[in-house]
Structure 1
Amino acid sequence: DFKTFFAKAPRLNPDRKKITGVVCGIRVEDIKEKTMREIRYLDKLIDELAKGKSMEKIMRKA
């Protein structure tokens, strides 16, 4: 399950919290439940990469 996946992850990128926007009609940064927010960070990351955006831009490093 996702909760176990995130709990056992050796290290989550701290910049993931800089990912903002809407996934499935819900603002990622407004999601209160931790596991669902982590899932939506992944959703948003994949969506933006599929659109051709760079990882740096998505993680707001550029």
Structure 2
Amino acid sequence: MKALSVLQPYTSFILWGDKTVEWRSWRRKYRGDLLICSSKLWADIPEVDDIPDESLGLFPLGS
């Protein structure tokens, strides 16, 4: 099984079905099961600033 590390909040958006496409600069011909891992870091996007502090528990970070 292959794994893909994704920054939060994108990991949760993928899990919830809100994000259906993930672009990478490299190409892979792999087709099969894929494990989506949450990284330890947050994405540097303006939408993150809009998330209330009490909702941050919905976005678990990797260890």
TM-score band w.r.t. shorter chain? under 0.3
TM-score by length of 2: 0.25
TM-score, normalised relative to structure 1: 0.25
Which one scores higher on RCO, CA 8 angstroms, separation ≥ 6?
Answer: 2
